[in-house]
Amino acid sequence: MKVSIFTMWVLVFGLSLDCSGADSNSSVSVHLSKELKMEGTVFTPCLEGMKNVKSEQGEMLTKPFLDLCKTILPVIDKFGAAMTLVKADIGGNISRLEKNYLSDPDKYKYLYTFVQGEIESKTAKGSSSCTNGLLWLTRAMDFLVELFRNLVAHQDWSMSQACGESYQKTLKKWHGWLASSTFSMALKLAPDRKKFMDVISGSGDIYADMERFCTEFGPFLQENHKFLASVGMDDMKAS
């Protein structure tokens, strides 16, 4: 699923209006300040979930992969308004794939079965296809992995700079002008880096967990791209 242009504008401008009457950090600060210290870091559930994504034969399993992606949603929540579009896109694509998986769990036990079936029925390129959903889910995760890599590698960067650089390197080339402009505008609502890092750290080593997340989750995404490219489905752009 790609978030529609109309939805993008509603989300971004709605959020901008909500924040316009507040001081420079108020809406994000309130969001962050209400969080309680957690055990481990916000990445702890993600790191646990990665252990079950593949079968003993090394095949990507549908439910564990989707469950893993779900564990990243609370991480996105900590960004507040800046990641509303990303969360909507990820959540929508997870729901689409999960709905199809639940229609026949045995048939769709393995993640790429969706794509193989749609290739055979010549429906893979449809905007509502599972192939399209897997592709855009993977791309959104590419963006997050690159963002967390930037936060680890460039600890002097502001959150806006880290978000902007990550977007340029991952999603931007797949977006049209309007989608790109709207997305870039949303990222300007990124929270203060220090406050954000304090919230997601919990009682663990946040930079170590963040780096481990990128190192371990990145190969799953690369495998998705490799498979999609093998069937000619890795280069579709936003309509």
Task: Give the domain CATH number at 191.
Answer: 1.10.3520.10
Residue 7 covered by a domain: no
Which spans in 154-205 are helix H? 159-169, 177-187, 193-201
Residue 28 covered by a domain: no
Count of the separate structural domains present in the chain = 1
Integer angstrom CA distances of residue 92 from 123, 189, 227: 19, 22, 22
Residue 27 covered by a domain: no
Residue 98 covered by a domain: yes
Indicate the length of the chain as a whole number: 239
pLDDT at 20: 38
Return the residue matching tokens 């902007």: 164
The amino acid that residue 180 corresponds to is S
Cα 9 to chain center, whole Å? 19
Domain that holds residue 171: 40-231
Q: What is the pTM of this model?
A: 0.83
Residue 30 covered by a domain: no
CB 4 within 8 A of CB 239: no
Count H helices and E strands in the chain, helices first: 11, 0
Straight-line distance from the first to the last Cα atom of the chain, in angstroms, rounded to the nearest whole number:
11
Residue 67 covered by a domain: yes
Residue 9 covered by a domain: no
Note down pLDDT in tens along the chain; length 239 residues: 455 544 544 444 444 434 433 334 434 443 444 444 557 788 999 999 999 999 999 999 999 999 999 999 988 998 888 888 899 999 999 999 999 999 999 999 999 999 999 999 999 999 999 999 999 999 999 999 999 999 999 999 999 999 999 999 999 999 888 888 888 888 888 899 999 998 888 778 999 999 999 999 999 999 999 999 999 999 988 76
Residue 183 covered by a domain: yes
Q: Which residues of 161-199 are buried (b: 16+ CB within 10 A; e: fewer)?
A: ebbbbbbeebbeebbeeebbebbbbbbebbbbbebbbeb
Q: What's the CA gap between 132 and 142, in Å, rounded?
A: 15
The amino acid that residue 58 corresponds to is G
Cα 87 to chain center, whole Å? 7
pLDDT at 178: 81
pLDDT at 37: 55
Integer angstrom CA distances of residue 159 from 133, 164, 165, 172, 195: 28, 8, 10, 18, 10
Q: What's the CA gap between 115 and 120, in Å, rounded?
A: 9
pLDDT at 187: 86
Beta bridge partners of 99: none
pLDDT at 38: 59
